[in-house]
C-alpha cells in the first residue's frame, strides 16, 4: 500500500516537472550564431594546423635524413676510432695476465 502511494506521488512529481520550463527564455537567443562561430573557429584552427603540417613536412624529412646520416657517420667513426683502443686494451689484459701468472 505504502509502495503504491509512493509510486503515485513520484508519478505526480514527474508529471508536474514535465510541464515546467526548465530553462530561461534568453538562452535560445542568438544560439545558432554562437554555435556557428565556434564551428568556424574550430575549422579555422584545424585548417591552420594542416596548412603548417604540409609545409613543415619537407623540412622535417630533411631534418630526419640529416639526423640519420649524422648518427650513422658518428657511429661508424666511433667504431673505427675504438678499434685501436680495443687493441691496446687487449694488450694490457695480456700483459696483466702474464705478470700475475693467470
Which residues would be at the binding site for another protein (CB under 8 A)?
Answer: 6-7, 10, 13-14, 16-24, 26-28, 31-36, 38-40, 42
For the chain, what is the radius of gyration of the CA atoms?
A: 39
Closest contact distance (angstroms) between CB of 49 and another protein is 15
Closest contact distance (angstroms) between CB of 54 and another protein is 20
Using CA atoms, how far apart are residues 50 and 55, in angstroms rounded to an integer?
Answer: 9
* Nearest alpha carbon to residue 36 among 24, 44, 48: 44
Closest contact distance (angstroms) between CB of 4 and another protein is 12
Amino acid at each position: 500500500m505504502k509502495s503504491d502511494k509512493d509510486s503515485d506521488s513520484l508519478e505526480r512529481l514527474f508529471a508536474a516537472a514535465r510541464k515546467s520550463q526548465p530553462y530561461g527564455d534568453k538562452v535560445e537567443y542568438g544560439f545558432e550564431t554562437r554555435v556557428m562561430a565556434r564551428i568556424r573557429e574550430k575549422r579555422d584552427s584545424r585548417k591552420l594546423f594542416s596548412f603548417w603540417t604540409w609545409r613543415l613536412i619537407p623540412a622535417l624529412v630533411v631534418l630526419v635524413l640529416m639526423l640519420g646520416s649524422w648518427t650513422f657517420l658518428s657511429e661508424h667513426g666511433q667504431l673505427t676510432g675504438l678499434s685501436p683502443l680495443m687493441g691496446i686494451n687487449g694488450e694490457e689484459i695480456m700483459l696483466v695476465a702474464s705478470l700475475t701468472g693467470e
